[in-house]
A and B are shown apart, each in its own frame.
Chain A
């Protein structure tokens, strides 16, 4: 009972924290330097579950859309602190060796992260960070029959590129990578002991929505 309630509270906390971060008005000195950007792209996720019943099969999330809001606060040059809220949504399905694809349900994946970014030469930038991730299934069925599991930590890294022409328009290309452990309560009941390490790669276009004017 305790295990079911806690992930729910964590998820609500994660969402609230995200919205606080997005809606809070920063101090004037900070807002003068901060910027807010949004990115939209596609994300690939590695296998969520590998199992074998008569024959081996995988449970995977298809290529899914990914949307990210990020607030950036410049630190000592060339460093920037990023706070990101990332949402992706996709279909979870079983993929048999025979080619059969059996849909299970849809899931929203929510992450809240912080990263440290460094500007490199020729319009490139690189970042690394950490955050929290939650699976929010559309229905309680299959591997999500007892919920999406607890909020889990994740690590992330990204590479950005802003061509000279795109800099003025606030556009950038971004490749993001992150990883986390996946294990739902239903899988634990089934007998799974360890979580699967899930690797995710996203390619996105980032657009600067707002930038504070220099003091």
Chain B
């Protein structure tokens, strides 16, 4: 009884002296700068506000994309929220022309049935965005089935949201969502490492005024 507290203290000290935590690999898989400049949404602009075209399945695709990108971060670097009004949005995602049918996406082999475009507009200084980032999605292959088209749109929205987060370059690895043509359904480890490094790199491009 007399020596029990001492025994507990020794056991506790033993736990305290084990090997310290090793930092993991944070090497980015691809470049993310825009001709040498870096953009990401700063801490004081979170949550980033996304507006999704109210037609078709766009809202579902954007919500899924925001959730998946949020999940790539461990340390509170990014948060996004869907807003109902495009005039109060930081990122606006719309259909470029026709609205594909809202059907469950095909889970088979991916085909390039659609295309996306994300355009950051700079102000006259050239080091700040002038307004919201605009993203548009268009049908590329009208012969694709509605389910194949839906799968392509789902992937491409996720890819374009990566650009809207500041990943301005394309990856060469086809297993990454930021490949020039996205073939996968979710960000991979290389995407996660790259966007993590981006959000810890001091930006040289300021966000648009609110």
Q: Of all chain A residues, which has the CB nearest B46?
A: A102
B74 interfacial by beta-carbon distance below 8 Å: yes
Query: Contact mask B145-170 → A, CB, 8 Å, 1/0?
Result: 00000000000000000000000000
Bound complex: CA A193 to CA B24 (Å): 8
- Chain B, interface residues (CB within 8 Å), range: 20 to 34
Using CB atoms, name the residue of chain A closest to B8. Answer: A128
A172-215 Cβ-contact flags toward B at 8 Å (1 or 0) = 00000001110100110011111111010000000000000000
User: How many A residues touch B, CB cutoff 8 Å?
Assistant: 48
Q: Is A20 an interface residue (CB 8 A)?
A: no
Known: A55-B200, A142-B75, A190-B24. A155 touches B12 (CB 8 A): yes
Cβ of A84 < 8 Å from any Cβ of B?
A: no
A51 to B77, CA, bound (A): 14
Which residues of the partner chain A approach B9 to less than 8 Å between Cβ atoms? 128, 155, 157
Chain A, 137-195, CB within 8 A of any chain B CB: 141-143, 145, 153, 155-157, 179-181, 183, 186-187, 190-195
**A135 close to chain B: CB less than 8 A:** no
Kindly list chain B residues whose C-beta atoms are within 8 Å of the C-beta of A79: 1
Q: A44-63: which residues lie under 8 A (CB-CB) from chain B?
A: 49-55, 57, 59
What is the CB-to-nearest-CB distance from A163 to chain B, in angstroms, rounded to a whole number? 23
Task: Kindly state whether residue A13 has any CB partner on chain B within 8 Å.
Answer: no
> Contacts of B201 on A, CB cut-off 8 Å?
54
Report which B residues bind A (CB closer than 8 A). 1, 4-5, 8-9, 11-12, 15-16, 18-26, 43, 70-71, 73-77, 196-197, 200-201
